Each structure stands twice: as C-alpha cells, then as structure tokens.
Amino acid sequence: MKNKIKVYRAMHDLSQEALANEVGVTRQTILAIENGKYDPSLILAARIARFFKVRIDDVFLLETIDE
C-alpha cells in the first residue's frame, strides 16, 4: 500500500514526531508507514486522514491485493 503521508506532513509543516503525537503512535510507526514497511490499521489510517482533514483514500492508495 502506498501513501502520501510525507506529502501531507510537508504541506502542514509537521515532523514525524508531531504527527505521531497527534495520532497516538510512536515516531517509528510513522516512519515505517512512510517507508511502506508497515500497513496501518483502518483506525490509524482514519485518524491520520482525519488529522489532515482529507479522506482515507486521499492519503492511502491500495495498489495490489497481495494478502
């Protein structure tokens, strides 16, 4: 799954740490999501999207169904 968290963070001038604090996860989790190493749960995806005031599929893009 691809995502645009880095883009939205840049638009909001937000560090990984700040976003992590806003959505209640560790900075390492935001880093792992940005690097495509970890796919967030639906709840976390919704929290991130809500924080940026966009829809989930504006931030996350499902390219292939491989699981």
Positions in the binding site for another protein (CB under 8 A): 20-21, 24-26, 28-29, 32, 38, 40-41, 44
Report the C-alpha gap between 10 and 64 in whole angstroms.
Answer: 26
Report the C-alpha gap between 40 and 29 in whole angstroms.
Answer: 9
> Given the complex with another protein, which of 11 and 28 has the nearer CB atom?
28
CB of 61 to another protein, least distance (A): 20
Beta pairing partners, 61: 2
CB of 24 to another protein, least distance (A): 6
> Given the complex with another protein, which of 11 and 44 has the nearer CB atom?
44
C-beta neighbour count of 16 within 10 angstroms: 18
